[in-house]
């Protein structure tokens, strides 16, 4: 296990590895690692000789100061977890100064409109922040492949779009959502839920499954109304959005088209914690 806090040392280590013709996988994370992250790391290890896991809570992708401050941080625990997975892992855990110097701000990106809906609508500047850090990590690590979870499906599509538009020579790999035993999508934010809320949060995935069951016979509007009513009647959760959208363009489905793939996307507040999830519908 190697641990680097500085770009320069990481780059020089990776140059050496590349010189030995070893392939490099990158798993960008914000730490507070859970089984979902570890599944990305294991996939990366199965496809590459060297795997870099970055652990960096990126300030520019948070639209709320409070959310950034409360984001769980557990570097030592994360490193212990990774050591148990493999000693081939290289951890890159920079400080904010190392990444941004004294200028903590995002670049502006063009994502072909993928950033204008859902998360982009509710979290101003979020995807510019994600684009900024992911582009920097890709250009620093120069991986053969980089791995991202489908829980943040919009983020995954946006990163694919950035790589395509900027003609970056990296393969982006999307990996399936890992769920807690009762169905809640794994997220570092789940740690901030009380035990009863975390248990009850199976309701979110249950609702997505309900939407999927209705998808064959009902319109998107009817399904969205059904979801809104279900959340209005629930004492613990506040629905921020529910959307059925085309997987490729992320535009809301108006009329079902043959050969198009659709997903249901949801964002919910529970105990003041924002949770997102999604499910392929066809």
In whole angstroms, how far apart are CA 104 and each of 129, 135, 159, 202? 10, 15, 21, 37
Helices 126-141 and 7-19, axial angle in degrees (round to 10): 50
Set 2, 6, 37, 234: catalytic member: 37
Find where tokens 């793939």 sit: 261
2 is written with which tokens? 């190697």
Please report how close the Cβ of residue 99 comes to ligand PAF at its closest, in angstroms.
10
Between CA 81 and CA 44 the distance in angstroms is: 16
Nearer to ligand PAF, 27 or 279 (CB): 27
CB 111 within 8 A of CB 31: no
Please report how close the Cβ of residue 58 comes to ligand PAF at its closest, in angstroms.
4
Nearer to ligand PAF, 50 or 172 (CB): 172
Instruction: Assign 51 to helix, strand or coil.
Output: strand
Between CA 191 and CA 177 the distance in angstroms is: 17
Nearer to ligand PAF, 143 or 224 (CB): 143
CB 248 within 8 A of CB 113: no
Nearer to ligand PAF, 148 or 203 (CB): 148
Please report how close the Cβ of residue 185 comes to ligand PAF at its closest, in angstroms.
12
Please report how close the Cβ of residue 229 comes to ligand PAF at its closest, in angstroms.
31
153 is written with which tokens? 């499906």
Of the candidates 69, 88, 99, 84, which has an alpha carbon nearest to the alpha carbon of residue 35?
Answer: 84
The full length of the chain comes to 282
Q: Residue 32: which residues within 8 A CB-CB, separation 6 or more?
A: 71, 72, 73, 74, 78, 188, 191
155 is written with which tokens? 């983020």
Give contact residues for ligand PAF (rule: CB under 6 A).
28-30, 58, 61, 130, 133-134, 152, 155
Nearer to ligand PAF, 58 or 278 (CB): 58
Instruction: Assign 73 to helix, strand or coil.
Output: coil
Please report how close the Cβ of residue 29 comes to ligand PAF at its closest, in angstroms.
5
Nearer to ligand PAF, 100 or 215 (CB): 100
Please report how close the Cβ of residue 31 comes to ligand PAF at its closest, in angstroms.
9
Phi, psi of 233 (to 5 degrees): -90, 0
Q: Catalytic: 37?
A: yes
Give the active site residues. 37
């Amino acid at each position: 296990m190697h641990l680097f806090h500085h770009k320069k040392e990481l780059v020089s280590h990776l140059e050496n590895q590349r010189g030995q013709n070893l392939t490099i996988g990158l798993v960008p994370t914000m730490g507070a690692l859970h089984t979902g992250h570890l599944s990305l790391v294991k996939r990366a290890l199965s496809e590459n000789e060297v795997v870099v896991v970055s652990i960096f809570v990126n300030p520019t992708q948070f639209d709320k100061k409070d959310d950034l401050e409360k984001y769980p941080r557990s570097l030592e625990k994360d490193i212990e977890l990774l050591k148990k997975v493999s000693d081939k892992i290289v951890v890159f855990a920079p400080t904010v100064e190392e990444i941004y110097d004294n200028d903590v701000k995002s670049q502006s990106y063009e994502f072909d409109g993928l950033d204008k809906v859902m998360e982009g609508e509710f979290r101003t500047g979020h995807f510019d922040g994600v684009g900024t850090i992911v582009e920097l990590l890709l250009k620093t690590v120069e991986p053969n492949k980089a791995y991202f979870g489908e829980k943040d499906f919009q983020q995954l599509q946006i990163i694919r779009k950035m790589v395509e538009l900027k003609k970056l020579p990296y393969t982006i790999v999307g990996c399936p959502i890992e769920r807690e035993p009762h169905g809640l999508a794994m997220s570092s934010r789940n740690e901030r839920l009380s035990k009863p809320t975390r248990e009850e949060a199976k309701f979110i995935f249950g609702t997505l499954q309900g939407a999927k069951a209705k998808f064959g016979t009902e319109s998107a509007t009817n399904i969205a109304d059904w979801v809104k009513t279900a959340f209005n009647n629930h004492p613990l959760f506040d629905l921020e959005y529910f959307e059925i959208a085309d997987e490729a363009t992320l535009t809301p489905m108006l009329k079902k088209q043959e050969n198009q793939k659709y997903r249901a996307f949801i964002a919910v507040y529970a105990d003041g914690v924002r949770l997102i999830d999604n499910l392929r519908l066809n």
